[in-house]
Amino acid sequence: MSGEFAGGRPVPGPGLDQFLPSMEVVEPDWVHVPPAVGEVPAGPIDPEAVKTAIIDNLLLIFDPEIPINIYDLGLIYGIEVAEDGQARVEMTLTAPNCPVAGSLPAMVERGVRNVPGVSGCHVELVWDPPWNLGMASEDAQIALGYGF
């Protein structure tokens, strides 16, 4: 009788949690390989090489609702790396009420901090411009069937 009416009132059925899989977000295993010597060289770093390594780590973080990594999804608006290794990431979410709004920026920060050469990281969550599927990479758009 679940979902049917009894005495003019709906009969409670299974709860939402029984229909939806857990929204628990599993953090990726950070697999960025450090330089062959096993440590970060002393002195100035190559900010562009570090930025590339940051992107490699961001490719490991997936949106829990859309099976695409956050970089290809277009959630990363900018990455800056200073010569002292300080990194700054500007990102957004698919929506302000995103279920991982509290954890995704922290996952990004952790992924950036795990890159050899990064001495610190600041992740800024922004809402302008608002994210839309047109911001995703072409491969992501094809995978989602957007515009094709």
Residue with tokens 């002292």: 84
Domains: count for the chain: 1
Q: Considering the domain boundaries, does residue 104 fall inside one?
A: yes
- Residue 132: its pLDDT value, please? 94
Q: Considering the domain boundaries, does residue 131 fall inside one?
A: yes
Instruction: Write out the chain's pLDDT in tens, 148 residues.
Output: 445 555 666 555 555 444 444 445 555 554 444 443 334 556 678 999 999 999 999 999 998 888 899 999 999 999 999 999 999 999 999 998 888 888 899 999 999 999 999 999 999 999 999 999 999 999 999 998 887 6
- Give the DSSP H/E element, type plus range, for residue 78: strand 76-81
Half-sphere exposure of 28 (CA within 13 A, CB side): 22
CATH of the domain at 116: 3.30.300.130
Q: Considering the domain boundaries, does residue 15 fall inside one?
A: no
Q: Considering the domain boundaries, does residue 71 fall inside one?
A: yes
Q: How far apart are the first and last CA of the chain?
A: 43
Distance CA 100, CA 98 (A): 5
- The domain of 64 spans 45-142
User: Which tokens in the block code for residue 143?
Assistant: 């995978």
Predicted TM-score (pTM) of the model is 0.71
Q: Considering the domain boundaries, does residue 124 fall inside one?
A: yes
Q: Considering the domain boundaries, does residue 93 fall inside one?
A: yes
Among candidates 63, 66, 83, 78, which has minimal Cα distance to 122?
78
- Residue 102: its pLDDT value, please? 84
- Residue 8: its pLDDT value, please? 61
CB-based burial label for 1 (10 Å; 0-12, 13-18, 19+): exposed
Q: Considering the domain boundaries, does residue 23 fall inside one?
A: no
Q: Considering the domain boundaries, does residue 6 fall inside one?
A: no
Distance CA 25, CA 54 (A): 20
